[in-house]
Structure 1
Amino acid sequence: MRYLVRDKIFAIGDDYWIEDENGAHAFLVDGKALRMRDTLELKDPAGRVLVTLRAKMLSVRGAMTVERDGQVLATVRRKRLSLLRNHYRVALEGGAELDVSGRILDREFTVARDGELVAHISRKWLRVRDTYTVDVVRDDADAALLIAVAVCVVRMAEKD
């Protein structure tokens, strides 16, 4: 399933819709203004919170957590930096990991699990500024989690 993210970076509260490939609203990224740390909620169209994204306050390399129902589902951290590509590691609850690599600021990167592609993030075919697609490759993948990972990685890369 492909999702279209219209990332309104300068919007008050950082709220923006994510649409599915048919143009229907699939998720709302709801930025929480006036919080001490960067906090976003990913909601379904009915307004139910699916996951909460939070910047970790005391982290040497910078990190964000993805929480579901008050429990940490994933922690996103910068893995290493090279001249052409950024790498992030996503530690999932239960010990599994996702590897995020590519040109993050260009919105051209992939998410893999054990070397297998899970999602591809791109704005290659789009002409609209600050818009990119999150193509969830596997049918059994958690789309909300993968979109949350993409949003976390983009926000972390922009702050660096």
Structure 2
Amino acid sequence: MKFYVREKVFSFGDNFTIKDIDGYDAYKVVGKVFSFGNKLHLYSMDGRELVYIEQKLFKFLPEYHIHMDNSVVAVLKKEFSFFKPKLHIDSVFGSFNIEGSIFAYNFTVYRNGISVADISKRAFAFSDTYEVDINDNESYPFILSMVIAIDQIFHDNRDK
């Protein structure tokens, strides 16, 4: 299933809208405004919190914890690499690796070595915009939370 993740331009904090392939709102992401580190909540359109994403501070490389149902279900860590960005995720859903292109605009998500999602960032968009193609047997909110973390790590502070 395809989703389109777009950061809202004129808002306080990191806020995103996530639309499905037909252009309907599927999820929304709301970031805390005055906090140390990134703290973002992914909500269903009826207002239920599905995922909470929290940046861990004082780490050599970026690290994010992904919470579902008030417990940590995944730890996302950026790996040290020279040319292509790489991330590793230990989760209750399996072991994930994310490999990106040299400019961090295209990513592939692998679970246990098998491709489960493709992420591509639009190069000439007014705001950070991603197209995400997720396999149907994966947890959409979980994979979309990885996209939000990728945006925070690679693209959030570049223009500020």
TM-score range, shorter chain: 0.7 to 0.9
Match of 2:107 among 106, 109, 122: 109
Identical pairs, percent? 26
Change (3 A) 1:157 1:10: farther
| SS of residue in 2 equivalent to 1:4 | strand
1:92 is aligned to 2:78: no
1:60-119 CA distance string (max 9 Å, x none): 222001101210011110122222x1000011037x310001137542111011221110
CA distance in 1, matches of 2:89, 2:9: 23
Q: Which sections of structure 1, spanning at least 5 residues, go unmatched?
A: none
Aligned position for 2:28: 28
CA distance in 2, matches of 1:9, 1:62: 24
Deviation (angstroms), 1:7:
2.1
Deviation (angstroms), 1:152:
0.5
Change (3 A) 1:35 1:73: same
CA distance in 2, matches of 1:105, 1:17: 24
Q: Provide the TM-score with structure 1 as the length reference.
A: 0.87
1:105–1:154 contact (8 Å) kept in structure 2: no
Aligned length: 156
Cα RMSD for the two superposed structures: 2.1
Once the two structures are superposed, the pairs formed by residues 1-160 of structure 1 within 5 Å of their partners are 1-8=1-8, 11-83=11-83, 85-93=84-92, 96-103=94-101, 106-123=104-121, 128-129=125-126, 130-136=128-134, 138-158=135-155
